Amino acid sequence: MFKSSANSAQSTSAQSTPHLLADKTPSPVAMTSLATEDKHGANSHILVVTLTAGSVCLLLMLLFFRSVKYKRQLALSATTDALTGLTNRRRILEEFDAELLRSKANGLAFSVALIDVDWFKQINEKYGLFTGNKVLRLFASTSKDILRHTDFIGRISDEQFLVLMPNTSNNEAFQVMENLRLKMPEIAEEIDLPNLVVSTSIGICHCVPNDNVESILQLANSALYRAKQNGRDQSVACDR
Ligand SMILES: Nc1nc2c(ncn2[C@@H]2O[C@H](COP(=O)(O)OP(=O)(O)OP(=O)(O)O)[C@@H](O)[C@H]2O)c(=O)[nH]1
């Protein structure tokens, strides 16, 4: 009775779990199904590991590119004037030194110009700092349009700019600066405020063999001073 009931229980169990044989040994079908489950498990494990590794790689790449971008931005901000986007004072003076050496070594002409926006304090006072800043930004973009790709321009102080013109004689430099100066009314037209006048005074100096950065800047500054004294809105070449 007991045996029969045990047998019947066994057979019931075997029936209810058809993949088990009567002696609880997994049937070939069950083994295949278990193997398939194992395979699926292994596959999903591989998938998880692959996805995680992929995400980590992606994250590392992202961090790497962000740090490269950040370093570039940092390097750029160390050499660039934030308002105008032009080269800043430190960088243009370094460039001046290098260009002067190069010109001397190659026996080439080299001219520089100091440009000052006229009555800039009054522009700020009458039209506001925002307009003053706009004048400086438009001056920067206009000068980039006019200057040749071999020239350099940088903002050296408030509303004063230094232009380096390698391989350029005094007369050529004068002509380039006049072209730039004559563009100033277009800046005022673009801003379009009543009675706004934008003009520049410019001092130009060409280099001779014994010159150094300080001596050229001093001569260019004296020429600029004369341009201011003579009534502004003009270019003056240095005396030499
Ligand atoms: N909008 C603006 N103004 C500035 C900036 N930096 C300096 N300034 C102002 O520029 C003005 C320069 O004035 P000044 O040196 O007297 O020169 P100026 O009025 O052009 O006179 P002249 O050169 O003799 O024609 C000052 O009022 C500064 O406050 C700037 O980044 N933006």
Domains of the chain: 1-79 (no CATH), 89-237 (3.30.70.270)
List active site positions. 159
Q: What is the pLDDT, as a whole number, of residue 7? A: 47
Q: Which residues contact 92 (CB under 8 A, 6 or more apart)?
A: 152, 153, 154, 155, 156, 162, 164
- What is the ipTM metric for this complex? 0.94
Give the span between the Cα atoms of 78 and 26, in whole angstroms: 74
pTM of the model: 0.77
Residue range 26-82, pLDDT digits in tens = 666 666 666 777 777 888 888 888 899 889 889 989 988 888 877 777 777 799 999
From 84, 89, 183, select the one nearest 132 (Cα to Cα): 84
**What ligand 1 atom has the least distance to the C-alpha of 118?**
25
**What ligand 1 atom has the least distance to the C-alpha of 120?**
20
Residue range 82-103, pLDDT digits in tens = 999 999 999 999 999 999 999 9
Six-digit token string for 128: 């506001």
Which residues on neighbouring strands pair with residue 161, listed in sequence order?
115, 155
Residue range 149-161, pLDDT digits in tens = 999 999 999 999 9
Which amino acid, one-letter code, is at 168?
T
* Count of positions (residues) in the chain: 240
Q: Which residues line ligand 1 (CB under 6 A)?
A: 83, 116-122, 124, 129, 132-133, 136, 158-159, 228, 232
**Secondary structure class of 46 (helix, strand, coil):** helix
From 206, 28, 182, 14, select the one nearest 100 (Cα to Cα): 206
The DSSP-derived string for 20-40 is B-TTSPBPHHHHHHHHHHHHH
Give the span between the Cα atoms of 221 and 114, in whole angstroms: 7
